[in-house]
A = this chain, B = another copy of it.
Amino acid sequence: MGFGADDISQTKKMNYSRTPLQAQDHVLAERKRRERLTQYFVTLSTLIPNLKKLDKASILGDAITYIKQLEEQVKRLDEEANKEPVVAVKRSRLLSNYDNSSTCNENSNKSVVPDIEVRASDGNVLIRVSCKKQEGIIKEIFSQVEMFHLTITSSSVIPFGYDTTHITIVAQMDHQLNMTTDNVANKIRLSIMKVINSHE
């Protein structure tokens, strides 16, 4: 940063006067520079809402507060968009390129993300799977369920859209297994997730 005549002691007579031929070039360039800065100021002032005074200081100050406010708002919206669903279903994200950034467009992959929900209550287990239609995947899922000595009381397999299958199974736990329902639920979830993963 250059410093001009800093102190008040007038040393007005400097040794070198500029080349007088184009010393005016200097003033012209400086004029141009000021002009650019002023233009920046008016451009900036148009971006700031509720700007009352057009002071350079006010423009700068309000720009600062406005940027802070915008950043805070972005942060709020961002973490609100990325927060987990309210009743957080355990969900396996099998597509690694699942884009959760704010710039993602409506990707059709999003509708076919396979997800699994297992919940247990009163010795019963509810299994809900939503996955792509795949050859033999239903058989394998049922096979996995039976490996836990569960008695299936009802089930439904419902197609949804072009390539999605929605499976709902309710089964009863064998009482001779001394496992907690949550433990069983977790094991089933992992098992099915593994099956689906092997098909991807």
Contacts and interface: CB of A to CB of B under 8 A. Distances in A.
Contacts of A67: 44, 47-48, 63, 66-67, 70
Nearest to A49: B71
A162 B90 CA distance: 23
Given A63-B44, A67-B47, A170 B180 contact: no
Interface stretch (A117-125, A134-142, A143-151, A191-199): A117-125
A56 B71 CA distance: 22
Given A64-B44, A74-B70, A81-B77, A170 B181 contact: no
A174 interface: no
Q: How many copies does the complex hold?
A: 2
14 contacts: A40-B60, A44-B67, A63-B63, A66-B67, A74-B77, A77-B102, A85-B88, A86-B91, A86-B111, A106-B180, A124-B161, A126-B158, A126-B160, A159-B170
Interface of A: 8, 24, 33, 36-37, 40-41, 43-44, 47-48, 56-57, 60-61, 63-64, 66-68, 70-71, 73-74, 76-78, 80-81, 85-93, 98, 100, 102-106, 108, 110-113, 115, 119-122, 124, 126, 128, 154-156, 158-162, 164, 166, 168, 170, 180-182, 186
- Across chains A and B, which 4 residue pairs bring their CB atoms closest together, nearest first? A111-B121, A156-B156, A40-B60, A77-B77
